[in-house]
Amino acid sequence: MEVTASDLDNLKATELRLGLPGIDAPEKPAPVSPRGSKRALLVSNEECWPGKNKSPEADSGGQEAQPMAKAQVVGWPPIRSYRKNSFKARKEEMEAAGLFVKVSMDGAPYLRKIDLKVYQDYKELKEALDNMFRCFSTGELSGMQGCNGSEYAITYEDKDGDWMLVGDVPWEMFMSSCKRLRIMRRSEATGMPSSP
C-alpha cells in the first residue's frame, strides 16, 4: 500500500506529539513497499535495526517518532485479511454516509447540525463553529488547549454518554465517538475531565 506525499502531510498535521513545538522529526524518504527496489528496502530496514543501545525511536517526549514516515508495511500487523475485510466493509459504509451531529450553544435559541466528515481536524471544526455561532457570542470561541480569555468551551457527548472537552483525543477517534456537541459557558465548564 503506497502512501502519497500529500497523505503524509495530512498525517503530520494531525499528529499529536508531546515534543516541544518547533521540533520536527527529520524528513526521511518513505520506505518503498516490498514490491519496489530491494536495495531501498534493505537500506530503510537498516535504519530500523538498532545496533546500538539507544533506540532511534525513543525521545524524551515519550512519543514514538518513527525514523520514517508512517507508511504501511505489507502484512504488518499480522492480521488475516478475513478479519481486516470484515471491518473495512463496515468502515466504508460509515465513510460514505455523512456524520451529522447536533450542535447546541448555551443561550442560543436554536441548534445547528454539522457534518463532521467535512472537517479535517480540530482547527477547521473550530473555525466552522466560530462562524456558525458568531452572532451569539461576544468573542472567539475556543475549547481547545491553550484557550485564553474566551467565554465558551466546546464540549461533546461521546459514545458512553459522557461529556468531554473537545481536543484531547486524535481527530479520527473524536469523529467516531462524538454524538453531539455543546458549546458551554466557560464558568460551567470548569472541572471537566479529559478523555481517558
Partner 1 sequence: MSEDEEDERGGGEGKRWSPDLIGGREGGSGGADPPPLSDQVLENVLENVLQFLDSRRDRNAASLVCRSWCRAEAQTRRDLFIGNCYAVSPARAVERFRRVRALVLKGKPRFADFSLVPPRWGAGFYPWLAALVPAYPWLERLCLKRMFVSDDDLSLLAKSFPSFRDLTLICCEGFGTAGLAAIAEHCRHLRVLDLIENDVEEEMVDWVSRFSTTSLESLVFDCVGCAVNLDALEALVARSPSLRRLRVNQHISVGHLRRLMARAPQLTHLGTGSFGDGGGGGGEVEVADLRAAFAASMSLECLSGFRDLASEYLPAIYPVCANLTSLNLSFADITAEQLRPVIIRCHNLQTFWVLDTVGDEGLLAVAATCKDLRELRVFPLDASEDSEGSVSDVGLVAISQGCRNLRSILYFCQRMTNAAVATMSENCQELFVFRLCIMGRHRPDHLTREPMDEGFGAIVMNCKKLTRLAVSGLLTDKAFGYIGKYGKLLRTLSVAFAGNSDLALRYVLEGCPKLQKLEIRDSPFGDAGLLSGIHHYYNMRFLWMNSCKLSIRGCKEVARRLPHLVVEVIRDKLEEDDVEAVEKLYMYRSLAGRRDDAPPFVEIL
Provide the binding-site residues for partner 1, judged by CB under 8 A: 34-35, 38-39, 41-42, 45, 48-51, 55, 57-58, 64, 66, 70, 72-84, 86-87, 90, 159-160, 169-170, 173
Closest approach, Cβ 74 to partner 1, in A, equals 6
Least Cα distance to 176 among 158, 163, 193 occurs for 158
**8 A C-beta contact, residue 155 and residue 189:** yes
Q: With contact defined as beta carbons under 8 Å apart, do 65 and 25 qualify? A: yes
Judged by DSSP in three states, 187 sits in helix
DSSP H helix total and E strand total for the chain: 6, 5
From 63, 67, 78, select the one nearest 27 (Cα to Cα): 67
Judged by beta carbon, residue 13 or residue 79, the one nearer partner 1 is 79
9 vs 57, beta carbon nearer partner 1: 57
Other C-beta atoms closer than 10 Å to the C-beta of 182 total 21
Nearest approach in angstroms of CB 179 to partner 1 is 13
Minimum CB separation from partner 1 for residue 85, in Å? Answer: 9
Least gap, CB of 6 to partner 1 (angstroms): 17
Closer of 129 and 166 to partner 1 (Cβ): 166
Give 13 or 111: the residue with its C-beta nearer to partner 1: 13
CB proximity list for 97: less than 8 A, separation 6 or greater: none
Nearest approach, Cβ of 69 to partner 1 (angstroms)?
10
CA distance 89 to 104: 32
